[in-house]
Amino acid sequence: MRVALISLLGLLATIHGAPLTDDAFEQALELLPRQANVTCPPTPNPMPKAAALPAVKTMPDPFLYLDGNTRVKSKDEWVQCRQPEIMKLLQEYQYGYYPDHSLETVTAVRTGTKLDVTIAVGGKSSKISATLVLPTGTGPFPVIIAIGGIDNKAYTNAGIAVVTFDYGSVAADSNSKTGSFWTLYNGKDIGVLTAWAWGFHRVLDGIELKVPEIDATKSGVTGCSRLGKAALAAGLFDKRIAVTMPMCSGVQGAGPYRYSLSGQGETLENSKSGAGWWTSSGISQFVGKSTQLPYDAHTIVAAIAPRAVIIEQGNADPYTDSKGTAQVTFPAAKVVYNWLGVGEQLGVALPAGGHCDMNGYANILPFVQKVLQGKTTTRNFDDIGSWKFMPEAYPWGTDLPKGS
């Protein structure tokens, strides 16, 4: 009954031409009957090291708890138990532990199209500067927060604001640990992807405080390549974000660790050796042992549900494994979205083009408009063209929990 009502909520939102925001979705869920007495199995403490984890050649079962014996039985259990465990293991093994935002004080000053956000914590303070690009009209407008460039015109012409910030000033793309994030959190074992994600979130705070022309409840985040990895992390760590838009993100993003299908694909090994600062030290123990990771890219995407994700990959981009992302990560994560009754909230786009082709932003615009503006589209965002889904890579996909 509960999942039927969840689906009905989405249908009603579409009929009335307005997107169901994450806050509204969560509030509505609170009105629905929940399974009584959900008991979560204990998460191992301390978390197991790589050597203690089993090798799993296929994409790990997202419904299987870290104890390796207990499986999720219901949707309520997924929300109350398994999603929090996934968040913990992703921080333990990949991202580092996200800072406690409740300890931070955020203020903002706006001067025209410039927004300066100041964050204070523990007697220290730092600043992030953002640039506002608003559509014509009075708003309030939905917003996409982007790093590293975006097709502004396509979005502002569609009535969506664009806000950008200098990710390098938040955290340098190096081992130097310089930038506004490290001013506050120097010495923490946190990856730069998490630092950039934090930057997205603090800019969104500033928008909430000082930009009435923007409806901050209808926000998206995007970036391409390593910045696409950061955008996925941003969507993961902040429930305010309605749509997450990782572009050509590769491993540590939407690209699978276990399946490299595009020839010269990025791997855990070459990404860690080339830019080890993107993640915390926790992932180092899995170098050469990626099959022992207790998650894969589909787990990251599924942990964002029921909020929307659109995965974009240029079909001529072999390095970030477009083929593996489309044939394995997307359908494996889609199993979870469909099971939750929100399958339309996850899509994939494979435009012609190479790595970080700017045309990709216009290509996914109809999906973004559906989520943020409640517009309809006839576009099939499940279509992967001549490529085929690989269900053998996620054999648990036909053995779904039966509980409500």
User: Annotated active-site positions, please?
Assistant: 225, 355
The amino acid at 106: V
Tokens of 323: 């083929």
Contact indicator for 72, 82 with CB cutoff of 8 Å: yes
> How many residues in the chain?
404
CB atoms within 10 A of CB 89: 22
Strand partners, 384: none
CA-CA distance, 117 to 250, in Å (whole number)? 30
Residues whose CB is less than 8 angstroms from the CB of residue 259 and which lie 6 or more positions away in sequence, other chains included: 59, 321, 324, 327, 328, 390, 393
CA-CA distance, 292 to 357, in Å (whole number)? 34
Name the burial class of residue 1, with classes exposed (0-12), middle (13-18) and buried (19+) by CB atoms within 10 angstroms of its CB: exposed
Contact indicator for 360, 353 with CB cutoff of 8 Å: yes
CA-CA distance, 175 to 194, in Å (whole number)? 14
Identify the helix (H) or strand (E) that includes residue 359: helix 359-363
Contact indicator for 125, 119 with CB cutoff of 8 Å: yes
CA-CA distance, 80 to 74, in Å (whole number)? 10
